[in-house]
Structure 1
Amino acid sequence: MQVHFRDQGLPTDSLPLVLIHGTAASLHTWEPWVAELKATKRIITFDLPANGLTGPNANHDYSQKAYVDFLDSLLIKLKINRCILGGNSLGGSVSWNYAIEHPEKIKKLILIDAGGYPLNSTSVPIAFKLAKVPILNNLLEKITPRSMVESSVKNVYFDPTKVSNVLIDRYYELTLREGNRKAFKERLASSKNTASKNNTSQIIKTIKVPTLVLWGDQDQLIPIASAYKFHEDLPNDTLVILKNLGHVPMEEDPKASIIAVKEFIEKIY
């Protein structure tokens, strides 16, 4: 598999920051943070299989295990033995699962509006809804209106006026990448099939590395209750709630959301 990734910032940094985006997003979601951190940190970002320019997985496996194995292969390829690992939404779920499987490789963990617990969403992007509807989801593989992508992106922001046409165009164009729409449908089906199988609380309680839990208080896709649940279950975490931000705080307000990240990275444990 060819992987779209970026290796930016300080090349001599011995503890890189690896960041993983969420469903239907791409490495571009992290570029504002990269701009803030690249003077002092090496930052690795990439498009997960089923997303961005990496595109679909040939074996159509979008399980958590497949993503954890993919991440491990990528870090081995990049010769990264230990890192600070962070992720948003799906990327957050992959991050904490990776920390459980490979604790020796993770120095610190950053979970931004991360998946893991039952969602209890109060609002879901229309693309996510339609991708689960038989017949309609097959149609969406062929016909995907830009307006649907626009609505879905605005849904995960608290302030939709911050969603620019440039941002919508990027999401739309990457959605149209060959194979991504079918992979999107398959990934959501995979997450639905596995979500109820795990005793999430008991698993997360085994994570020992220092963890920053960062959450937009107006997240409707993964509401703030999940932030408090992570805080309750993680034995060694710091919880930071971001006022008037939604599901993707690193996009919606990069400068406000990066403050706690910088402090967490610099803190000695």
Structure 2
Amino acid sequence: MILDRGMILDRDMIVDGVRLAYRQTTGRTGETLVLLHGTPSHSYIWRAVIPALEAAGHGVLAYDLLGYGASERPLNRDTSVTAQADLLEEVLAQREIARCTLIAHDIGGAVAQIFATRHPNRLERLMLIDSVSYDSWPSATWQQIIRDHLDDYSAMPQPDFEAMLTRQLTMTVTDPTRMSGETLEAYLAPHRTALGRASFFEHQVRHYDSTPTQRTAPLLKTLTVPTRIVWGAEDRWQPVSYAKRLAADIPAAHLTIIPNAGHFPMEDNPTRIITEIQTLIG
């Protein structure tokens, strides 16, 4: 089963004065799995994963990060990964989740690393999927854009912006046909308005900054929860070398490299992602 785009997140919550779109199921196993997406994406990326986890009886909480997807996009609010980690703590408190398994992708992985090292007692398990880490982000191209051309990019005509974002999204999969049609439209949809375009640069690109993950890196060795590092072998954004480094630095972490998968392995091979999550939970 794959969830329809409109069915993934079915309600809103107000946390620390901002609105977040979310989905929560209680399950029957006692496990609560919290799914954190990355950029340029939103909770749509979990549409083929959530049904299998819920069918297995696990509680699931998925939400769009502040400034992303269907959540509020206030232009005067900090949406850095550090601020998102602070907000995650507020979300878990409001949803009365004392401990959880964090499953995080891309910059969601940065949020998870910060949260895990700050609040290890709140975690049962951790999975990092093609996560940013250390100094792995942003790319040299994005560094130059942020430093010299961010205002120019923010002001580009909508067709040019969508063409640029389409090129970026196509790089996330090994088979370009997987990022086309309705799938591509779903990823582009949050950015099809002037506010959506501005939000992409203000809430996402402006906060492409590795300082928080470099600051957190020395603390990874303190993590003791069961951890799996899952990576697409063909990831063009986050090299596999960073996956190996994470696996070496986090005690007893298990590394899985998925062949024929790119930066969005949930698109290339969702069945494998489901299997890895089920293996982590045991």
Scaled by the length of structure 1, the TM-score of the pair is 0.88
The aligned counterpart of 2:270 is: 254
Cα contact 1:20–1:86 (8 A) shared by 2: yes
The aligned counterpart of 2:54 is: 38
Structure 1 position 57, deviation (Å): 3.7
Gaps of 5+ in 1: none
The aligned counterpart of 1:185 is: 201
Q: Does 1:148 align with 2:149?
A: no
Structure 1 position 142, deviation (Å): 5.6
Measure, in 1, the Cα distance between the counterparts of 2:246 and 2:30. Answer: 28
Greater mean alpha carbon deviation, residues 219-228 or residues 140-149: 140-149
Measure, in 1, the Cα distance between the counterparts of 2:66 and 2:160. Answer: 20
Q: Does 1:54 align with 2:54?
A: no
Cα contact 2:54–2:60 (8 A) shared by 1: yes
Structure 1 position 199, deviation (Å): 4.1
State percent identity of aligned pairs.
26
Measure, in 1, the Cα distance between the counterparts of 2:264 and 2:233. Answer: 11
Aligned mate of 1:102, from 113, 119, 130: 119
Q: 1:13 to 1:79 in 2, by over 3 A?
A: farther
Q: Where do residues 71-82 of structure 1 align in structure 2 (5 Å cutoff)?
A: 71-82=88-99
Cα contact 2:158–2:192 (8 A) shared by 1: no
Question: Over residues 101-134 of structure 1, what are the superposed CA-to-partner deviations in whole Å (9 max), with x where a residue is unaligned?
Answer: 111110000100011122278897x9x9766623
Cα contact 1:123–1:221 (8 A) shared by 2: no
Q: Does 1:90 align with 2:126?
A: no
Q: 1:173 to 1:120 in 2, by over 3 A?
A: closer
Gaps of 5+ in 2: 1-17
Which amino acid counterpart does residue 119 of structure 1 have in structure 2? S
The aligned counterpart of 1:227 is: 243
Cα contact 1:60–1:183 (8 A) shared by 2: no
CA RMSD, 1 decimal: 2.5
Q: 1:217 to 1:123 in 2, by over 3 A?
A: farther
Structure 1 position 61, deviation (Å): 0.7
Count of residues paired in the alignment: 262
Cα contact 1:55–1:180 (8 A) shared by 2: no
Measure, in 2, the Cα distance between the counterparts of 1:140 and 1:21. Answer: 26
Measure, in 1, the Cα distance between the counterparts of 2:200 and 2:139. Answer: 21
Scaled by the length of structure 2, the TM-score of the pair is 0.84
Measure, in 1, the Cα distance between the counterparts of 2:216 and 2:84. Answer: 17
Aligned mate of 2:41, from 4, 16, 25: 25
Cα contact 2:154–2:197 (8 A) shared by 1: no
Q: Does 1:241 align with 2:250?
A: no
